[in-house]
Chain A
Amino acid sequence: MNARSAQPRPDTPRSDDQAADRSADFAHGFAVETRGLTKHFGPNVAVDQVDLRVPRGSAFGYLGPNGAGKTTLIRTLLGLTTADSGTMALLGIPVPQRRARALARVGAIVDEPRFHGHLTGRQNLRLLAAARGGLAGQRIAPALERVGLADRADDRVGGYSMGMRQRLGLAACLLGDPELLILDEPMNGLDPAGMHEMRALIRDLVEEGRTVMLSSHLLDEIERTCDAVAIVDHGTVIHQGPISDLTGAGKNAAVQVDCPDPQAAAGLLKAAGFTARVDHGGADADEAGAEDGSSAGQPNSTLIVTSRTGTSQDLAAEVNRGLVEAGVVVYGVREARTTLEDWFLSVTSRLGDEQ
């Protein structure tokens, strides 16, 4: 298959043979798969040679800063705009060649969810259910119930808050009993409680066997909600994979020790066979270049101890015992983990340096 072939417009009929060929090409079981997908807006490249694979049955985060091309990729996947080159498939069905069939089991929110403000929530869903056909009309009430809008379903959408419109958008997604949900910035406009509930709902949907792909620039939300992630910057995917691969979770045990003199404590621990280092606000002790080797009194010095075996809890207990027995005052020992934010910032910093 020519991964750079230009895409036909939506609704352009294709021959069954061509469609079947492409079907076979994408029969890898991914919920979303793109190859070399590219979309320009004039001289600007919004989506640049994106190869994306979203595993089925997972919550997948599409993470990137504002303007990175997240929404454009989603709009292209859904046939709201056309790709300049590349190929893509939803649930193994090539789009846009067999778009109607692919979208039969896809629900999506793109940008902020907007509806006819003069109609009620229920009437808006009726409109969409009529377009979807099948049993969609019978799913209106359960969908409203599920997103917690049943009580306000007969109010005009013009009076809804942003959070309520987000939930109505999610209800609209559920009308088609989707195998795949694509949610563009679903946490936008939600208060902390609403974000918590949205997160829980997304996890519930995944546990039901659905795939949820959500775009966001909120690193913490992605980390809390998703199993895997693709990180995009300037239209290019710079990394994709399980979040645990990025954060190192489950690989090494690591603890952070709070004590008055981290440098001295590090020396003691190294002598006792531990792997220890002192971070000075992101740089380790050698890089920091402390002349006397002491870090006492430096406000951002933290002692990190790692081990390739055992758990962080076991390591914390051993480190604590070792330091206390050596007469070192220990304020606290806690698990040290690399967050997605740490990883993201380090990667984007590197990219900035390269540029």
Chain B
Amino acid sequence: MTETASTAFDQGPNPNNLREPGPPADRRGSWLPSPAMIGTKLLELRKRRALMITTLVFTVGMPVAVIGVRELFHLFDPRSYGPATDPGIFVDLCGVMASFGFIIAAAFGATAGTTDLTDGVFRHLVITGRSRLALYLARIPAGLAILLTLTGAGFAIVCLATVYLGVAQPTSVDESGVDVPVHLDQARLEDWLQQHAKQGATAFGFVGDNPVSSPAAFEQALGQNIATIYREYVSDEAQTLDPGPGQMTDAGLWLELDATIAYTVGLGFGCLIGQRTVATISMIVLEVIITPMLAKADIPHFVNVQRLLVGAVMDQLRPAVLGSAIGTGGPGSTLVGNVGPGQPGLTPTPGWAMAAIIGGWIIGWSVIGARRMMTRDA
């Protein structure tokens, strides 16, 4: 120890001078984490360089790299390479972000759930007398503040690139060689079809081989099929046009929900086993193997268990702008090959059940993690 240090040992300021004035407002028994606890946990996570770089690469770096490379190709050889983004690229990037986002968020959660323990700081925290539940709960907003910000930033870059670096927006949708104007709602599409009976019938083929033999027959066929026609029109429009602000918002919220689920489950699972690597690998297996396999199709007598998979629920909640909702195998399927539309998928789950399943995963794993933290030997 240096001489300076030695002097400080003997003569340093006395913490006695900072005695608590009167009875302290002691909230250490409260289960609610203080803003300072959340802030310092956020600091602890933010300062983990490897974790932050990995998270940054897969949330922001990956879309930036894909768009950047495509834009460079386009700038150097516009004839061979199209614009950096188009609606298809938007969908693909969102799919990859969902897959990697889930895994990164799970790893982030597992890290947040185990580092105090593995670094030997948990016992220091327990000795403060602070409620162990509060110590656990502080990790949720701290980690989500980082993850949701980075996920949102990555998605915002994709959206901006889609709007500003994408193809010029067409004014019509090509339906079997017929140009149908874009941005029609169902009523206006019906009006347009009545005014352009021959083209409309060709475009959507809903009245057989002789579509305009009888106006009455046309009217009847149109009335019977307008809902199906409109779904087909919307689907084709989505593949042609950049997603609108509302659709982008839906997709962004879906990605954020995916990250939130993965983080809280990873946090709870990490706390439960106290081991980051095993928790992360388990989450990857769940995401890229188990969920895609079980979300493909109904298995007799097993379908209700299949429905409990959070990935299968997220599959069904996938916004229309990101493609077919059913049978794609969850967000993780992008990594192992999308089983794709055309697979039968699981029987749709009611909305209330989906909300309950997602809530159950988040709350259930949080309870498990918190319970383990409260009873663990420190």
Contact = CB atoms under 8 A, between A and B. Distances in A.
Interface of A: 9-11, 75, 78-82, 99-104, 106-108, 110-119, 123-124, 126-135, 137-139, 141-143, 145-151, 163, 172, 174-177, 191, 193-194, 197, 200-201, 204, 208
A206 to B, nearest CB: 13
Contacts of A118: 47-49
A129 B121 CA distance: 13
A11 B132 contact: yes
B12 A146 contact: yes
Nearest to B131: A11
Nearest to B48: A118
Nearest to A210: B16
B29 interface: yes
A124 B18 CA distance: 20
A129 B8 CA distance: 21
B161 to A, nearest CB: 34
Contacts of B132: 10-11
A177 B18 contact: yes
Given A81-B378, A148-B1, A128 B12 contact: no
A148 B4 contact: yes
A115 B9 contact: no
A208 B14 contact: yes
B377 A81 contact: yes
A91 to B, nearest CB: 12
A128 B128 CA distance: 7
A110 B14 CA distance: 23
A162 to B, nearest CB: 13
Given A147-B8, A151-B4, 9 more contacts: A103-B28, A126-B43, A131-B28, A132-B129, A142-B13, A142-B18, A150-B8, A193-B1, A200-B10
Contacts of B28: 100, 103-104, 131-133
Nearest to B118: A114
* Interface bracket on B: 35 or more
Given A124-B121, A137-B36, A177-B16, A197 B1 contact: yes
A115 B19 contact: no
A160 B10 CA distance: 21
B129 A101 contact: yes
B48 A100 contact: no
B245 interface: no
Contacts of A137: 36
B24 interface: yes
B129 A110 contact: no
Contacts of A208: 14, 16
Interface in B113-146: 115, 119-121, 123-133, 135
Nearest to B25: A134
Interface in B28-70: 28-29, 34, 36-37, 39-41, 43-44, 47-49
A138 B17 CA distance: 11
Contacts of A163: 1
A132 B130 CA distance: 6
- With a 10 A CB-CB cut-off, give which of A117, A148, A177 has the most chain B CB atoms: A148
Contacts of B121: 114-116, 124, 127
Contacts of A201: 9
Contact of B127 (A110, A148, A194): A110
Contacts of A143: 15
29 contacts: A10-B126, A11-B132, A101-B129, A103-B127, A104-B26, A106-B129, A108-B127, A114-B119, A114-B120, A115-B119, A115-B121, A123-B47, A127-B41, A127-B121, A130-B34, A130-B39, A131-B125, A131-B130, A134-B25, A135-B18, A142-B13, A142-B14, A146-B14, A147-B8, A148-B9, A175-B15, A177-B16, A197-B5, A197-B6
Contact of A117 (B19, B119, B126): B119
